[in-house]
């Protein structure tokens, strides 16, 4: 069973939901009315955190599950948790200033690459057997 990977998947979705609520909060706080996508820098940073998280989810979630299936539920969940931590660090940094988003981006990017490369390697090994 893949209980740990399922839990990390749900946590990733919860974090994305949080970023969505944060965009709504930023709209209210800064007065940026829907459907506007720009205006106040605080709103724009909150929106970019949400969109960047969304952009990475189709990369991370399939790789997370393929890694779990082909390699290990626990290791996949651990790497997935690192990805979430990276997203949180990204959120905190980017919320302060765009220039502070780098460390979180690096953490989540390394975790995503590890999941993808691990899954790809495991699939390729099985194909050549």
Domain ranges of the chain: 3-128
pTM: 0.96
Could you read off the pLDDT of 60-91 as tens digits, one per residue?
999 999 999 999 999 999 999 999 999 999 99
Could you read off the pLDDT of 19-57 as tens digits, one per residue?
999 999 999 999 999 999 999 999 999 999 999 999 999
Q: Indicate the CATH number of 3-128 among 3.30.70.860, 3.40.50.10300, 2.60.40.290, 1.20.120.550.
A: 1.20.120.550
Tokens at 104, concatenated: 């979180």
């Amino acid at each position: 069973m893949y209980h740990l990977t399922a839990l990390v998947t749900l946590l990733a979705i919860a974090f994305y939901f949080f970023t969505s609520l944060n965009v709504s909060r930023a709209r209210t706080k800064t007065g940026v009315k829907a459907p506007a996508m720009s205006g106040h820098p605080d709103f724009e940073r909150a929106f970019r955190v949400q969109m960047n998280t969304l952009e990475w989810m189709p990369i991370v979630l399939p790789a997370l599950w393929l890694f779990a299936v082909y390699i290990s539920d626990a290791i996949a969940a651990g790497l997935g948790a690192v990805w979430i931590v990276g997203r949180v660090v990204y959120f905190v940094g980017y919320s302060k200033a765009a220039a502070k988003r780098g460390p979180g981006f690096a953490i989540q990017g390394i975790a995503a690459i590890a999941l993808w490369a691990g899954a790809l390697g495991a699939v390729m090994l099985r194909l050549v057997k």
